[in-house]
Amino acid sequence: MTQPRKLHHLIHKIPGQTYLWLAILIFGASSAVTRKLTEIGTQHFIGSRNPISLCNVLFVGNLCALIILILIYWRQWNKTTLMQLSKKDWFSLTAVAILSGAIAPGLIFQALALTKVNNVILVGRLELPLTLALSIWLLRERVNLWEIVGAIAAFIGVTLTIILQPPQEAMINMGGFSVGIGELLATAGAVASSAATIVSKGQISHIPLGIYSIFRTALGTVIFFFLALILYGSDHFMDVFSPFLWRWMLLYGALIVVLGQSFWIKGLRASTVSAASLASSFVPIVGIVAAYLILSEAPTFAQYIGGSLILVGIFLSQIGIRRQNSRIALSKVSSNQAKQEIETGMGFKGI
């Protein structure tokens, strides 16, 4: 057997869950890696500008993601499939692209500039209980008691993480509590992501994943670009073609975008919903460990208290998912809605 055939045979023998866990390690570390890149950029200013600004990382990272998504899903963009989509489908896709492809990542990246990575990771867990509540209210979904109790625990954990923060410069007073601006931006990002998930579940779950992913990434990137120009000025992306930026972004794109997305997609295809959901629940743990190893950012008292409750909530939710006897919970991850629901619990994945 030749070497390439041996390698191909070995790759096919790797269990699907291995790919899932590799993707979780990459996605969990993405926030810390993003912050580290911006710190590297501060040591190599171009004039008075950081070439690896968060906006540049998001914009170029999305371009890298778009390339890999097109390579994976280009066959789904055919005339027959596109003609089957109604005006309502395109309207819903546009809403999701704006919410989850532009507004949510923009808010999260801005939060990373103002507060600790661990705060962004933990506050981002608000997306899970909020999505569950909106699903029950708007979509009339039936959930079990374990999921409800888990969502409540996670919500309380996020609230404690926000209100128990030690004094910092970027804070505002709200009803007697001093709340960090970064934490508020992370909260707003979670709300936008949750709204996008509800639209996805209610309106576009039947749309092929390739069309959904490529359209969301492409339109979200364009909208984010113009929003940044309006908010920050025409010179905000002056360094987007900097060789220094692209050297690091090629590494970022290869690891976070290409490997992360490729491992995740391959793992989903070979795993059950329960296995994928369980793996995704470890993203905040990986993120906190990565923040310590990469940034030397040790958890604070507020993060210990809030994070512990959030993890309890995730654990209880997993019990609920495991106890579901629906067909989809026992099958391999195949439906778009199942994939979107799993990714809801992951939060920020670097793009």
For 41-58, how does the pLDDT look when each residue is reduced to its tens digit (9 = 90+)?
989 888 888 888 888 888
For residue 315, the number of C-alpha atoms closer than 13 Å in the C-beta half-sphere is: 7
Residue 229's identity, in one-letter code, is L
Residue 175 vs residues 114, 172, 178, 180, 280: alpha-carbon distances, Å: 21, 10, 8, 13, 35
Token code pair at residue 56: 């540049």
| pLDDT recorded at residue 99 | 92
- How far is it, in rounded angstroms, from Cα 132 to Cα 144? 11
Partners of 179 in beta bridges: 172
- How far is it, in rounded angstroms, from Cα 234 to Cα 1? 58
Token code pair at residue 206: 């039947």
| pLDDT recorded at residue 11 | 52
Q: What is the pTM of this model?
A: 0.84
Give the CA dihedral 155, 159, 164, 169, nearest 10 degrees: 130
Q: Strand, coil or helix: what is 179?
A: strand
| pLDDT recorded at residue 320 | 78
Low-confidence ranges of the chain (pLDDT < 70): 1-16, 168-170, 173-177, 273, 323-351
3-class SS shares of the chain: helix, strand, coil, % to 5: 75, 5, 20
Among 283, 286, 282, 278, residue whose Cα is nearest residue 319: 278
Q: Strand, coil or helix: what is 332?
A: strand
- How far is it, in rounded angstroms, from Cα 281 to Cα 24? 9
- How far is it, in rounded angstroms, from Cα 215 to Cα 218? 5
- How far is it, in rounded angstroms, from Cα 345 to Cα 278? 10
Token code pair at residue 163: 């209100």
Cα angle 313, 162, 148 (rounded to 5 degrees) comes to 25
CB-count burial class (<10 Å; 0-12, 13-18, 19+) for 304: middle
The residue whose two tokens read 């019990």 is 319
Longest dimension (CA), the chain: 71
Treating both helix axes as pointing N-terminal to C-terminal, what angle do 336-344 and 127-138 enclose, rounded to 10 degrees?
140
Among 219, 256, 228, residue whose Cα is nearest residue 350: 256
For 89-129, how does the pLDDT look when each residue is reduced to its tens digit (9 = 90+)?
999 999 989 998 899 988 998 898 888 999 999 998 898 88
| pLDDT recorded at residue 175 | 63
Residue 82's identity, in one-letter code, is L
C-beta of residue 143 within 8 angstroms of C-beta of residue 320:
yes
Q: Supply the Cα-derived Rg of the chain in whole angstroms.
A: 20
C-beta of residue 101 within 8 angstroms of C-beta of residue 130:
no
